[in-house]
A and B are shown apart, each in its own frame.
Chain A
Amino acid sequence: MNNKTAALTSVRDSGGVMQRLLNNKLLLFITLASLMVIPIMVGDDYVYHIFITICLFAGLSTAWNIVGGYAGQLSLGHAIYYGIGAYTGMLMLNAGVSPWISMFVGAVLAAGVAVAISYPCFKLHGPFYALASIAFLEVFHVISLNWVGLTGGANGVMVPLELGWSTMIFSERLPSLVIVFGLMLFVLAVSWVIRRSKLGFQLVATRERESAARGAAIRTVHVRLYAAAISAGLTAMLGTFHGSYLTYIEPESAFNLTFSIQIVLFALVGGLGTVFGPLYGTILLVPITELARGWLGSSAIGLHGFVYGVVLVLVVLFMPDGIMSIFQRYLPSSKGRRVAARDERSTHHAHLNDVKKPERPPVGEVVLKVKHLDKHFGGLHVTNDVSFDLHKGEVLGIIGPNGAGKTTVFNMISGFLSADSGSVEVLDENGHFISPKTPGAFARSGVGRTFQIVQPFAAMTVEENIMVGAFYRFSSVEESRKVAREIAHELGLSRFLDEEARNLPIGGLKRLEVARVMAMRPRILLLDEVMAGINPADLREAIELIKVIRDSGISIIAIEHVMQAVMELSDRVIVISSGEILAQGEPEEVVKNEAVIEAYLGKEVTDASTE
């Protein structure tokens, strides 16, 4: 369960006032401009150095944030990519190649390494991923120490001091500042674009809830690899610059754990997963420690590390969401849109009732064939020879006692579990039956599902949650947003559009599950207990809603305990008990079946009813 809060994802134009201000072009412009203007006005070499350091770390931190913040992969080994960039630049410069070219060579190399490292590690979470990244960093460190022929070992690599733009080596500081400032802007721009793009939404969704993300046809491994590659490439470019700036590089400083942690620290202080958090975090922290070092001189060995450590501890204790969240806390959030949404809500009920319901189309051809599914969990035979068909436009109810294996069947017909034997065939858009294997493949073949235990992307707003589903069909953020709003409106979620999913009541979350999967416009909809725990008024609405969905030609399989809904909606009912199909047929028929009553209520009750 992921507990990130507001600042993580709500950096959007619809966030709080201060958030808007922080995103406000004017404030950003002033901040960025002052990074150039202040050192030029002061003109002191040391001040230049501080500002170059700020731009460097702001860039590194922002690049890290793409994989660490958006994708939630806590890499403590980002110095690997910095080191690769730095070494590539230095070695190629010694071979007469300008850093302007080697920068891109380093970026490509680093991206390749990032993919190679991340691919086997993608299933590791939290501390395990962090440990793996440290181990990789250590391996690179040792290799760079020992591959003397390439890296010069512990002696490091130096470059001849040939000044000029082509070598990126200058006697003055201003040109270096201009270059690193430009690089930082580039990294910020990339990060900004990603956060607002389909990829950004998919990364955050994957971070928040991987299984739901897979259900929404997101290629969770791919998107993380993209993020890792982009992040590593940008980091390497900054590394190449820094190598030229220092004119010297050695393993100890290039592949350094503390350096990696610093990059992460700035992002954390600013606000993980926010676009501009890392920038503000760096601007806040670097000058403090650099100035302290300047004042206290070399006697203060360890001082800046100590400050960083203490700041890190204080930040996690008192403002784990970073600077971006602090401002937000003291300012009222924007009310305008919510009021508008409420108006929309009052018309919503009218909308449901007024709409002339289309005639229900007749039940059509078979769209899903389930054949002889079998599944064991250890010694438990949870699914025993389950077979059934689903027809177009049909509602198939699945009922059965708790623990009968209903959700297991669902997991097998949506790819989350693979069956021991048996097959699931789905009619694809071209009229061929195919056998998808993974959740993503099922989603792409038109099977959408909800989860019994709701799986919202907790830190995303309702609108964003639904957009993640809509991205399956649209690449454009605007189109997805439009579709998401329409669906939210249909499902009575309009008033919650800007609310984070974690704040929704259970009924709302159930509706959100349906909304997200409807946004993918599935042809087969699997509903896992969407009616459970909602109040009677909402139940009426939910039943009507499912009828509307059915009448639009979507085939539905619903696991349900609420008998009112089962009886009213189902064309056919399958009763599963102890992993087997106990009975099937029309709802009225099935509920009178003795075996069914016995499975639900026990033998004595059956006897009692027959007497």
Chain B
Amino acid sequence: MDLLFSLLINGLMLGSLYAMISVGLTLIFGITKVINFAHGEFMMIGMMLTYIITTYLGIHPYLTLVFVVPLLFLLGIVVQKYLIEPLKDSDEHIQIFATVGLSIAMINLVLMLAGSNNFNTPASGLRETLGLGAATVLTGQIVIMLCSICMVVGLHLFLSKTQMGRAIRATAQNRNAAQLMGINVSRINMVTFGIGIACVGIAAVLLSPLYPVNAQTGQSFVLIAFVIVVMGGLGSIAGAFYAALIIGLVDAFAGFYLGSSLKDVAVFGIFLLVLIFRPSGLFGKARKLAHVS
């Protein structure tokens, strides 16, 4: 029983981490209809920045949010404006190649500059263990869990209550009609891409004290993020959150019962089943049809 509880808590912790990484990805897909294969690399860049700023200025890692989030927001805007926007009328697979190319270039640029070393951001007390019944968690994980909930709720409020949020949702549902209503769609796309990347920037900062970073770090997380985003129904933020918790639990339980090396087979197996039998996601509804037609 204790073991199950402990696995459950660990799974939820892992799930909320995955959720933080995935919401930006799903937001970007929902609005721009582009799958950002470079999403993990933006996170890796965010973690690298956190490491550099923390060690250089000697400040608490969380304080780097002030630098990292705006920087990644701008980076997102630049990428959208100069890479994705010019390809908006191109074939789907041309868009895939664009972000795949960006991802390869970013990984290898970091490899060239920093080699394949691991960089450890100072823990600053965030790796203290806390007893939670039978389970033990790190303080940093608790922060991640709380922040991921705040992020999902915050994004939801932003999208449903603000004028900008409504414009973003309108663009997601029908780009042409939104344009006719006077919405500047390319600006919306830029802002959305920026926000999506800023979200993964927040994840990067919170993650840095707990995980070492190297040039390949993004790749190991982004595959999981794809799984989550497709499972949650591409473009659905709430769906991504639930799917992230599910995958976190699968990860924790499969990691324990199958071994850490085989747990990926469970995760990707589930992914393939979802793709093949429910391509609109576990929670996907008619919403996707609006995109198709």
Contact B35 A3, beta carbon cutoff 8 Å: no
Q: Which A304-342 residues have a C-beta within 8 angstroms of B? A: 304-306, 308-313, 315-317, 320
Judge whether B89 and A136 touch: CB under 8 Å: no
State whether A131 and B226 are in contact (beta carbons under 8 Å apart), knowing that A268-B97, A300-B112 are contacts in the complex.
yes
Do A142 and B264 touch across chains, with their CB atoms under 8 A apart? yes
Complex interface: chain A residues within 8 A of B112 (CB):
300-303, 306
Closest to B111 in A: A302
CB <8 Å contact, A305 and B226: no
Determine whether B106 belongs to the interface, using a CB cutoff of 8 Å to chain A: yes
* B98 close to A139 (CB less than 8 A): no
A261 touching B92, Cβ below 8 Å:
no
Q: Does A310 contact B261, Cβ atoms closer than 8 Å?
A: no
Main secondary structure of the interface of B (DSSP, over half): helix
A418 to B93, CA, bound (A): 32
From the candidates B89, B101, B102, name the one contacting A3 in the complex (CB within 8 A). Answer: B89
The docked-state distance in angstroms from the alpha carbon of A126 to that of B106 is 23
Q: Are A317 and B87 in contact (CB under 8 A)?
A: yes
Given A138-B223, A142-B261, A268-B97, also A308-B104 (CB < 8 A): yes
Assuming the A-B contacts A145-B261, A317-B83, are A3 and B110 also in contact, with contact meaning beta carbons closer than 8 angstroms in the complex? no
A303 to B97, CA, bound (A): 19
Q: Does B215 contact A (CB under 8 A)?
A: yes
Per-residue contact bits, chain B 254-270, to A (CB 8 Å; 1 contact, 0 not): 00000001101100110
Chain A residues whose CB sits within 8 angstroms of the CB of B93 once the complex forms: 72, 74, 126, 130, 272
The distance from the CB of A558 to the nearest CB of chain B, in whole angstroms, is 26
Complex Cα distance, B35 from A152, in Å, reads: 36
Task: Say whether B111 contacts A305, CB under 8 Å.
Answer: yes
**What is the interface size of chain B, counting residues whose CB is below 8 A from a CB of the partner?**
46
CB distance from B171 to the nearest CB of A (A): 19
A125 to B288, CA, bound (A): 14
Cα of A20 to Cα of B96 in the assembled complex, Å:
30
Which B residues touch A309, using CB under 8 A? 101-109
Report whether A146 and B261 are in contact in the complex, using a CB–CB cutoff of 8 Å. yes
Residue A175 is within 8 A (CB to CB) of chain B in the complex: no
List residues of chain B with CB within 8 A of the CB of A261: 100, 104
Encode contact with A along B99-142: 1 for CB under 8 Å, 0 otherwise: 01111111111111001100000000000000000000000000
Q: Could you say which residues of chain A place their CB within 8 Å of the CB of B163?
A: none
Complex: how many Å from CA A261 to CA B92? 16
B90 CB-CB contact with A under 8 Å: yes
Cβ < 8 Å to B, chain A residues 248-286: 257-258, 261, 264-265, 268, 272
User: What chain B residues lie within 8 Å of A123 (beta carbons)?
Assistant: 279
Instruction: Give the CA-CA distance A130 to B261 in the complex, in Å.
Output: 24
User: Is the CB–CB distance between B94 and A320 below 8 Å?
Assistant: yes
Tell me the smallest distance from the CB of B114 to a CB of chain A, in Å: 9
Cβ–Cβ contact B111 & A313, under 8 A: no
* Among B95, B111, B275, contact of A128 (Cβ-Cβ < 8 Å): B275
Q: Are B92 and A126 in contact (CB under 8 A)?
A: yes
- Chain A residues within 8 Å of B98, by CB: 312-313, 316-317
- Could you tell me if A135 and B96 are in contact, using CB atoms closer than 8 angstroms? no
Give bound CA distance, A415 to B106, whole Å: 49
Q: Are B276 and A120 neighbours in the complex by a CB distance under 8 Å?
A: yes
CB-CB nearest in chain A for B230: A131
Contact of B2 with A by CB under 8 A: no
Cβ of A132 < 8 Å from any Cβ of B? Answer: yes
Whether, in the assembled complex, B18 has its beta carbon less than 8 Å from a beta carbon of chain A, the answer is: no
Closest to A154 in B: B261
Query: Would B90 and A312 count as touching, CB distance under 8 A?
Result: no
Interface size on A, residues (CB 8 A): 50
Residue on B nearest A301 in the bound complex, by CB: B111
For residue A68, which residue of chain B has the nearest CB?
B93
Most B CB within 10 A of own CB, among A258, A311, A316: A316
Whether, in the assembled complex, B253 has its beta carbon less than 8 Å from a beta carbon of chain A, the answer is: no
- Cα A310 to Cα B209 in complex, Å, equals 31
Tell me which residues from 52 to 83 in chain A have a Cβ below 8 Å from any Cβ of chain B.
72, 74, 76
Contact B101 A316 (CB under 8 A): yes
Given known pairs A74-B93, A120-B276, the reply for A138 and B103 (CB within 8 Å) is no
CB proximity of B62 to chain A, nearest CB, Å: 30
Report how far A304 CA is from B223 CA in the complex, Å: 23
Contacting pair A320 B90 (CB below 8 A): yes
> Which of the residues B87, B95, B219, B268 comes within 8 Å of A139, measured between beta carbons?
B268
Does B227 sit within 8 A of A, measured CB to CB? yes
State in angstroms the CA–CA spacing of A85 and B87 once bound together: 36
A299's closest neighbor in chain B, by CB? B112
Q: A135-B227, A301-B112, A306-B109 are in contact. Are A74 and B104 (CB under 8 A)?
A: no
Chain A residues within an 8 Å CB radius of B96: 74, 126-127, 130
Q: Residues of B contacting A139 with CB < 8 Å?
A: 264-265, 268-269, 272
Contacts of A454 in B (CB 8 A): none
CA distance A130 to B98 in the complex (A): 14
Q: Is A171 an interface residue, CB under 8 A from the partner?
A: no
Given A138-B223, A139-B269, check contact A305 B275 (CB 8 Å): no
Which A134-163 residues have C-beta < 8 A from chain B?
Answer: 134-136, 138-139, 142-143, 145-146
- 26 inter-chain pairs at a CB distance below 8 angstroms, sorted by A residue, are A3-B89, A74-B96, A128-B279, A130-B93, A132-B275, A134-B226, A135-B268, A135-B271, A135-B272, A136-B272, A142-B262, A142-B265, A145-B261, A146-B262, A261-B100, A301-B111, A302-B108, A305-B107, A306-B111, A309-B101, A309-B106, A309-B108, A312-B98, A312-B101, A316-B90, A316-B94
List chain B positions with a Cβ less than 8 A from chain A.
Answer: 35, 83, 86-87, 89-98, 100-112, 115-116, 215, 219, 223, 226-227, 230, 261-262, 264-265, 268-269, 271-272, 275-276, 279
**Shortest 7 CB-CB contacts between residues of A and residues of B:** A309-B105, A302-B111, A312-B101, A305-B108, A309-B104, A126-B92, A306-B108
Query: 14 additional contacts, CB 8 Å, given A138-B223, A268-B97?
Result: A3-B89, A76-B100, A126-B96, A127-B92, A131-B226, A142-B261, A146-B262, A261-B104, A301-B116, A302-B109, A304-B108, A308-B105, A312-B97, A316-B97
